[in-house]
Amino acid sequence: MDEMQASDSLSYLDLVATEIWHNCWSSCETRDLKKLTLVCHTFAEICQPLLFRIQYVEAPNVDSGSWMTCTQRIHLSVQRLLRLGRSPHAASVRSWYWAGDYGSNLKRIAERYPQITNISIVGERWTRLEQVFITTLGSYQRLKQLVLGYLTIDSDFRETLASLPVLEDLSLRSCTMVVHTGPLLSLRQFCLSGSRMTEDSEGEILDPQALEIVSPETIQVLVLDASPEALAILHHLSEHTLPSLTRLFVDIRNAAGADCFFGCLKNSSCLQELTLAGFTVFDAAYFERHLPQTALPTLNSFDGPYNLADLFTRERPVERLKLRHGDSEEEAPSDSKIISILRNLAPSVSVKELDIIDTVPISPANMPAIFAAVSSPSLRKLRVKAQEQPTPPAPPPTGVHGLDDEPDPVMTDDEDEAQVDDRVVWLWDEDDSDFETEEEIIIPFDGPYENAARRRVPAAAPTTPPTELPGYMYSQYESQSFPPVLETSASKDPQSGVGQILAAIYNGTISLPPMLEELCFYWNMKCPRPLSDREHHRAVLTLEKMFPSLRSMTLGARDPWILRCGEWVKRPLRIISCVERRGTRKGELGG
């Protein structure tokens, strides 16, 4: 009896270590964490910090019918941030996402709805929320990730950022920089997008070559757009050694930016991933003159213009390659040009992943030649897209108007005056503790960065025959199966783009690398139609017989066929594989 009482009194901490509980619940949703805090004191101590690890604020979409509710919600966020900044839970915050007010819509909302007398309070409350966020940001001393949108970065704000000792990931989206000097941030990852440089307090334009914000010694991932601020940051980094930089994304549109870019490449001895946007005004000869062959000795991934692929992969250990067309204004290369580029890449035996979806719309008739040009023996993943030129829509018949052509109703002065809204929104005091409990105010609402609820309808029990035959297709929701497709005739519409692609697959004229494991084959036709189940069935059986190493194939649709335990699965369908693979047993064939 004493032993039973002793076993019942054992705490959960004695049974399982705290680190294991923490790892189990790190991916839980807020609703589940709230329930776990009620189990026992041990669970509460573990789960309570997890409730505050991610904070998120986004400007709501306000219209004439929801402005009062949105105002109260913004006011509630003000109260929540004030209490969170003063509470010990601020030490539990690891990530902050401030989405911001896009285009200052809330601050100018009175201009959009002049008939609503008191709607300007929405912008006033949002301005107050921005002030509270900026003043309390320094309270999160264990903050690691910070995403800011539509804020003004002044000297005080930069001092606040420098006061966060463990901050390692900073993203500035459409922020306004009004200072060009300040303490350098020891960041591992920095992203700048949609920004523009403005005048300082004295009315002088900031020097685009003097913006210093990131420490060159610690930066590992750098993402910069084509703004003047990004060029200024790139210029600063090009003058220093970048010993830790491994990933670089840049958008270059002029010669000054290109010079800074080459300076960074020469100083980045550990760069592994490179993504180039822009560069449409430069050709390969320009890069050959400025890029030494000894540069980028550790480059592993290249994502950029198709005409630079050979230059950046030559004598470098590139394994992932994604080729792009560039700006829409640039003339698209011909299929023969793409085929020539792919053939030149063939000797590069290190390429394992190739993506040419964004290169150029490839004609379905030239797809066999495209596949034949992709002959890298070590290629494991291939993503390609076929597309026909769209047919322009026929003009509407004369005298026939669509719904969009109807004129908007004209509002008279009497109707306009009748719709004037002069209601006054009621707001409680910011320090009022009786409106909500402390815990309800501090716990953030579920934002888009919260893990989405995984509500899945239980799958129906499969009603398949007791013995599943190789090559047969089975449906998960229907008691039927399809025998293997043995016909050798072409598709029903051989003249269409889809028909040409299917004919190339059925006839075995597609040539792929022998070790290919993942094939993503998309197409966009003038007369789009999804493949039927029998067409999928026949294509899968044909491709797996030709290329036994395949483990995943996408044919026109988004959902791929994945090989699992000897079955090609694409819910609700399953195809029993006909290929016996060496060194594996049924149940071990992987996806």
| Best-predicted range by mean pLDDT (38-52, 81-95, 320-334) | 81-95
pLDDT over threshold 60, residue 127: yes
CB proximity list for 314: less than 8 A, separation 6 or greater: 293, 348
What's the chain's average pLDDT?
79
Work out the pLDDT band at 458, boundaries 50, 70, 90: very low
CATH topology (fold) of 9-51: Monooxygenase (1.20.1280)
CA atoms of 193 and 145, how far apart (whole Å): 16
Q: Could you report the per-residue pLDDT of 386-414, keeping only the tens digit for each? A: 876 555 555 555 544 443 444 444 444 44
Torsion of CA 278, 280, 285, 290, to 10 degrees: -30
Q: Could you report the per-residue pLDDT of 521-546, keeping only the tens digit for each? A: 888 766 566 788 888 999 999 999 99
Work out the pLDDT band at 258, boundaries 50, 70, 90: confident
Work out the pLDDT band at 436, boundaries 50, 70, 90: very low
Average pLDDT value for residue range 506-516: 87
CB 561 within 8 A of CB 552: yes
pLDDT over threshold 90, residue 469: no
Q: Could you report the per-residue pLDDT of 155-211, keeping only the tens digit for each? A: 999 999 999 999 999 999 999 888 888 899 999 999 999 866 544 434 343 445 668
Residue ranges, CATH 1.20.1280, the chain: 9-51
Q: What percent of the chain has pLDDT over 70?
A: 74
Place of tokens 């911001």: 100
Supply angle C-alpha 549, 555, 558, rounded to 5: 110
Average pLDDT value for residue range 37-55: 82
Residue ranges, CATH 3.80.10, the chain: 53-343+359-373
Phi, psi of 23 (to 5 degrees): -65, -35
Q: Could you report the per-residue pLDDT of 222-240, keeping only the tens digit for each? A: 999 988 889 899 999 999 9
Question: Which is higher by pLDDT, 445 or 347?
Answer: 347
Place of tokens 């560039």: 326
Phi, psi of 160 (to 5 degrees): -65, -40
Q: 95: closest CA among 32, 137, 34? A: 137
SS3 sequence, 156-216? HHHHHHHCCCCCCEEEEECCEECCCCCCCECCCEEEEECCEECECCCCCECCCCCCCCECC
pLDDT at residue 144, rounded to an integer: 97
Question: Which is higher by pLDDT, 130 or 29?
Answer: 130
CA atoms of 305 and 250, how far apart (whole Å): 13
Q: How many helices (H) and strands (E) does the chain have?
A: 19, 22
Distance of CA 231 to the CA centre of its chain: 24
pLDDT at residue 582, rounded to an integer: 63
CB 139 within 8 A of CB 92: no
Question: Which is higher by pLDDT, 450 or 231?
Answer: 231
Average pLDDT value for residue range 272-276: 95
CA atoms of 224 and 189, how far apart (whole Å): 11
**Longest alpha-carbon distance in the chain:** 94
Q: 61: closest CA among 52, 72, 70? A: 70
CB 163 within 8 A of CB 140: no
CA atoms within 13 A on the CB side of 136: 25
Average pLDDT value for residue range 448-463: 42
Place of tokens 């591992």: 188
CB 366 within 8 A of CB 337: no
Work out the pLDDT band at 588, boundaries 50, 70, 90: very low
Average pLDDT value for residue range 280-291: 78
CA atoms of 87 and 176, how far apart (whole Å): 30
pLDDT at residue 338, rounded to an integer: 86
| Best-predicted range by mean pLDDT (164-178, 320-334, 354-368, 546-560) | 164-178
Give the type of residue at 174.
S
pLDDT at residue 192, rounded to an integer: 95
Average pLDDT value for residue range 73-98: 93
CA atoms of 321 and 298, how far apart (whole Å): 14
What's the full length of the chain, in residues?
591
Ranking 251-255, 381-385, 552-556 by mean pLDDT, the lowest is 251-255
Q: Could you report the per-residue pLDDT of 58-71, keeping only the tens digit for each? A: 988 888 888 888 99
Q: Does 53-343+359-373 carry CATH code 3.80.10?
A: yes
pTM: 0.79
Question: Which is higher by pLDDT, 402 or 89?
Answer: 89
Q: 95: closest CA among 133, 134, 142? A: 142
Distance of CA 496 to the CA centre of its chain: 34
Place of tokens 């084959």: 521
